[in-house]
Copies of this chain bind each other. A is one copy, B any other.
Amino acid sequence: MSLSEFEIIDQYFTPLGHWQGPHTVVGPGDDCAVLSPPPDHQLCVSSDTFIEGVHFPVGASGALVARRTLAGAVSDLAAMGSEPLAVTGALTLVTADPDWLGSFSGALSELIQDWQLPLVGGNISRGSELSLTWTVIGSVPTGSYVTRSGASAGEDIYISGWPGRAGFALSKLQSGQQPPEQLAKHYLAPVPRLVLGQHLRGLATALIDVSDGLLADLNHLLDGSALGARLNAQNMAFDELLQASADSPAAALTYFLTAGDDYELCFIAPVSARSEIDRLALKLALPLSRIGETKAELGLQFANLPEALTESMLIKATGYRHFA
Which residues of chain B come closer than 8 Å to A131, judged between CB atoms? 92, 125, 127, 131
The verdict on A26 contacting B145 (CB below 8 Å), with A32-B44, A35-B42, A135-B47 known, is yes
Contact of A280 with B by CB under 8 A: no
A271 at the interface (CB under 8 A from B): no
Let me know if B135 and A88 touch, CB within 8 A.
Answer: yes
Roughly how many angstroms separate A186 CA and B1 CA in the complex, as a whole number? 34
**Residue on B with the closest CB to A324?**
B4
A1-42 interface (Cβ within 8 A of B): 1, 3-8, 25-26, 30-37, 39, 42
Judge whether A79 is part of the interface by a CB distance below 8 angstroms. Answer: yes
Minimal beta-carbon separation of A11 from chain B (angstroms): 12
Tell whether A32 pairs with B46 under 8 Å between CB atoms, given A125-B322, A135-B135: yes
Inter-subunit contact B8/A323 (CB<8 Å): yes
Q: Which of A115-123, A243-251, A310-318 forms contacts with chain B?
A: A115-123
- Is A275 part of the contact surface with B, judged by Cβ < 8 Å? no
Check if B51 sits within 8 Å of A45, measured CB to CB. Answer: no
| Chain B, Cβ-Cβ closest to A320 | B5
Q: Chain B residues near A135 (CB, 8 Å)?
A: 45, 47, 88, 133, 135
Contact status of A76 and B129, CB under 8 A, knowing A4-B323, A48-B90, A323-B1:
no
Residue contact B43 to A96, C-beta cutoff 8 Å: no
Instruction: For residue A75, give the distance in angstroms from its CB to the closest CB of chain B.
Output: 8
In the assembled complex, A49 has its CB within 8 A of some CB on chain B: yes
Query: Within 8 Å of chain B (Cβ to Cβ): is A259?
Result: no
Confirm or deny: A148 has a beta carbon within 8 angstroms of a beta carbon on chain B. Answer: yes
**What are 13 pairs between A and B in contact, CB < 8 Å?**
A26-B147, A30-B147, A31-B148, A31-B208, A32-B136, A35-B44, A45-B88, A45-B121, A45-B137, A47-B122, A47-B133, A48-B90, A128-B128
Beyond contacts A54-B126, A127-B129: 7 other A-B pairs, Cβ-Cβ < 8 A, are: A1-B323, A5-B322, A26-B147, A36-B142, A45-B88, A45-B120, A47-B135
